[in-house]
Amino acid sequence: MNEKPLTEKINDLKVLYVEDEASIRDAVTELLSRRVDNLFVAKNGMEGLEVFEKEHPEIVITDIRMPQMDGLQMSRRIKEINPGVKVIVTSAYSDSTYFIDAIEIGINEYVLKPVSRNKLFEALYKCADNIYIQRNATKQFETISRLHQAIEHSQSMVIITDRNQKIEYLNPRFTEITGYKFNEVVADAPLVDFDTLCMMDTNPDFQQLIDNNSNWRGEYTIRHKNGDLVWLYGSLSPVTDIKGHVSSYVLVGEDISEIKQMAATLADKEDKLRNLIEKLGEGIGIIDLTFDFVFCNAAMNEIFEEEKLVDRNLSAFVASPKEMNEIISIARKLKIGEKQQLDVGIVTAGESVRYVSITFTPQLNDTGAVTGIFCIFKDISRIRELIEELEAARDAAEKAYETIEEKNMQLNDTNAKLQESEKKLSELNAILMEYIKATGK
């Protein structure tokens, strides 16, 4: 027992003192009150039992011989109610019968009268120490029990080995993940050992941890009973004893096989989508809210004649401030789910003048906030040239048509004059024929 100074108080324990002799009771009560904050006093066993049932003290100090109910009878009843109560008996009698009864009841300490101050407090502190030890043990047991229940019901696999990596414990989740039953692994001749299960040859970090007694966290693989690989994310940690020596290892893992498969599928789709975007003839670009390019496909670099278009600002290429202001106005008014289109002129990095048609669509993050603008760029320079050539041809055709119309009008006038001349000639010819008939010439 640890030595206690006589001035040390017992602050958080309740103590019941039972004594029928007033002079002794007053003296011991005065003595105990200096050391015990929660002290209750009774005059006999019956009264002491009533106080106990009401206050539930952890320590009882009692005389043996008392009226109505003696100390041993009271102690027996108290122990029946709460076997954990510590009982200290004080008596002037040394008859062995009392000692035998006290042992049978479960009395914790025996102090002979006249009560020695040091002996009384020695017994009191000893009982208090036992209570504190029991409390700590109960807390530790409850903590261990909660931890055990948490591990047993955890969705993470837990493996505990000894210092030589012999598996000593598996939680139920282990069976769900690996297919091995508890008694197939935790056995003198297991179906699989730790090295084989954890594929130490393909998980070199595990061996490095064991060699260096360090902690490790990350992704790893284990072998399922059917031979398949299972991907997990977790940790492997050494557990040391009070001397700092490794006594065991704890491996924790959460099954991420489905996540890994989804990630692989998404990565494959992303690669295919990226390749598709890269091979598109149309330019695909994303600009942030300051109009810096944050993504461009290969066609964009060709349109702008710039190998490193990312981080360049769109305004550096737009041909006129007026057109850039139109782009800014569209971006500010662009609504979620809406598309806007605008044709603008650009000056490429190679100083070529081109015309592009831009389709704007807002880009959203996971919360639905607009973080940028998705843009499709179409080089319409050749189309513009063809349109201009067509317009010029149309103008020329219209002018030619006007000339033809004018010539037609002139031709019509000429035809009218010819018809008039033919008419007059016909009239003259008739007159001439009449003259010939009349003259006979």
pLDDT of 355: 92
248 backbone φψ class: left, alpha, beta (φ>0; ψ -120 to 50): beta
Confidence (pLDDT) at 1:
45
β-sheet with 167-170: strand ranges across: 167-170, 157-162, 246-255, 229-240, 216-223
Token duo for residue 340: 């806007």
Query: How high is the pLDDT of residue 281?
Result: 62
Cα separation, 362 vs 31, in Å, equals 84
User: What's this model's pTM, rounded to 2 decimal places?
Assistant: 0.48
CB atoms within 10 A of CB 368: 7
Report angle CA 307, 312, 318 to the nearest 5 degrees: 100
Distance CA 159, CA 8 (A): 46
User: Residue type at 146?
Assistant: R
Asked whether the beta carbons of 239 and 247 are under 8 A apart, the reply is yes
According to DSSP, the β-strands at 86-91 and 283-288 are unpaired
Q: Phi-psi bin for 244: left (phi > 0), alpha (psi -120 to 50), beta?
A: left
- Look at the block and give the residue holding tokens 């955890």: 154
Structure tokens at 95: 């008859």
List of E strands, 129-189:
157-162, 167-170
Distance CA 77, CA 430 (A): 169
The Cβ of residue 317 has, within 10 Å, a number of other Cβ atoms equal to: 22
Residue 341 CB contacts under 8 Å (≥ 6 apart), including other chains:
357, 358, 359, 360
Q: Over its length of 441 residues, how does the chain's per-residue pLDDT go in tens digits?
A: 455 555 566 778 999 999 999 999 999 999 899 889 899 999 999 999 999 999 999 999 999 888 889 899 999 999 999 999 999 998 876 656 677 777 788 888 888 888 888 889 999 999 999 999 988 888 888 888 888 888 888 888 999 998 888 888 999 999 999 999 998 888 888 888 888 887 777 677 777 777 777 788 888 888 899 988 888 898 888 888 888 888 888 989 888 888 888 877 777 776 666 665 556 568 888 999 999 999 888 888 888 998 889 999 999 999 999 999 999 999 888 888 889 999 999 999 989 999 999 999 998 887 878 889 999 998 888 877 877 777 777 777 777 777 777 777 777 777 777 777 777 777 777 777 776 777 765
Confidence (pLDDT) at 433: 74
Q: Which residue is listed with tokens 């964009």?
A: 300
| Residue 42 buriedness (CB in 10 A; 0-12 / 13-18 / 19+) | buried
Residues 17, 32 contacting (CB under 8 angstroms): yes
pLDDT at position 275 is: 63
C-alpha 396: how far from its chain's center? 70
Whole-number pLDDT of residue 68: 87
**89 near 109, Cβ under 8 Å?**
yes
For residues 184 and 58, give the distance between their C-alpha atoms in angstroms, rounded to a whole number: 48
107: tokens are: 């009395």
